[in-house]
Structure 1
Amino acid sequence: MKEYKVVSWKMGLSNNDQRLENTLNEYAKQGWQLKQFAENSARLVFERDKNR
């Protein structure tokens, strides 16, 4: 079974790439994989196995 997490992404005035990279790395350490980046709605959708 899979579980999902939706994270709203807010663009700032600077360091957007670094902040995004840090966010992706934080969730990856917790076992999450990025499944979708909805650019128009600024949302990141992560997935991982629920029974890990």
Structure 2
Amino acid sequence: MKEYKVVNWKMGLSNNNQKLEDTLNQYAREGWVVRDIAENSMRIVLERDKNR
């Protein structure tokens, strides 16, 4: 079974790319995989196995 997480990313003025990269890497360490990035709304959908 899968579980999902939706992250709303807010555009910042400084270091935005680095902050996004750090955030995605943290979720990856927790087992999350990016499934979709909605560019217009900056919504990121993550997925992982629920019984891991």
Please classify the TM superposition score into its range, dividing by the shorter chain length: over 0.9
- The aligned counterpart of 2:36 is 36
After superposition, residues 1-52 of structure 1 pair within 5 angstroms as 1-52=1-52
Q: Which runs of 5+ in 2 are unaligned?
A: none
TM-score (norm. length: structure 2) = 0.95
Alignment identity in percent? Answer: 71
The residue type equivalent to 2:10 in the other structure is: K
**Which runs of at least 4 in structure 1 moved beyond 3 Å after TM superposition?**
none
Q: How far is 1:51 from its partner?
A: 0.7
- Structure 1 length-normalised TM: 0.95
Q: How many residues align?
A: 52
RMSD: 0.5
